[in-house]
Amino acid sequence: MPEPIRWGKRGAEPSDAVEPATILLHKPVGFDAIAGNMPAVALVKDDARWADDPSGIEPLKRHFQRLTPLVPLDNDASGLMVFTQDGRIWRRLTEDVDTIEQEFVVEVSGEIAPYGLSRLSHGLQFNGRTLPPCRVSWQNEIRLRFALKGVQSGQLRDMCAQVGLGVVAIRRLRIGKVGLAKMPVGAWRYLPVGERF
């Protein structure tokens, strides 16, 4: 059987024996995760691959086609984004997403209200529903670390506003067990076999 044609070589790739790709991107602020004028998927190009990608996967042209974005991230937030061609990953991150913990660092301004940290962890509402308990802690004097499930668009900003804090920046560090590590903003890497959300 001929070897698959690698990125940048002429000719078509064989239609069989190519595993579907899942790509992890460190999305910059200003790019749209799912739909919009500035789609984050446009950043997934061969030359933007993280130099320290540990996956060992050889890029193929096919890996950059029909990528489905999963687990939305607001336009004004940065951090981990997932694009996949793999139906198993799609099911995991759509059907089970509310059971998967996500971790964020939120840079804030202002003075937190009395018992604000406790209220952030338990007892706030968003879009008319009581939010489930989550873990919130100070990373330093201006950054809060959130670990929560079922997060919705705008939720972190709203939670902070309810305890008197403004939001300066939001960055998603982790979805389940998969994290950004030291991947720079705008770079991407493959999700290797064995790394699971």
Q: Tens digits of per-residue pLDDT, 150-163?
A: 999 999 999 999 99
Which pLDDT band holds residue 18 (cuts at 50, 70, 90)? confident
pTM across the whole model: 0.88
| pLDDT for residue 17 | 61
| pLDDT for residue 36 | 82
Is the pLDDT assigned to residue 14 strictly greater than 80?
no
**Domain 22-97+178-190 identical in fold to domain 101-175:** yes
Who has greater pLDDT, 72 or 5? 72
| pLDDT for residue 35 | 77
Using CB atoms within 10 Å of the CB of residue 3, give its burial: 0 to 12 exposed, 13 to 18 middle, 19+ buried.
Answer: exposed
Angstrom distance (rounded) from CA 130 to CA 59: 44
Q: Which of 58-70 are b and which e, b meaning 16 or more Cβ less than 10 Å from the residue's Cβ? A: ebbbbbbeebbbb
| pLDDT for residue 179 | 96
Class of domain 101-175: alpha beta
List of E strands, the chain: 22-27, 68-70, 78-84, 101-109, 125-126, 129-130, 135-140, 143-149, 166-175, 178-179, 188-190
Average pLDDT over residues 70-95: 95
Per CATH, the number for 22-97+178-190 is 3.30.70.580
| pLDDT for residue 94 | 93
- Least confident piece of the model among 11-15, 17-21, 127-131: 11-15
| pLDDT for residue 1 | 38
Is the pLDDT assigned to residue 13 strictly greater than 70?
no
Average pLDDT score over the chain: 90
Pairing of strands 129-130, 125-126: antiparallel
Residue ranges per domain, the chain?
A: 22-97+178-190, 101-175
Average pLDDT over residues 76-104: 96
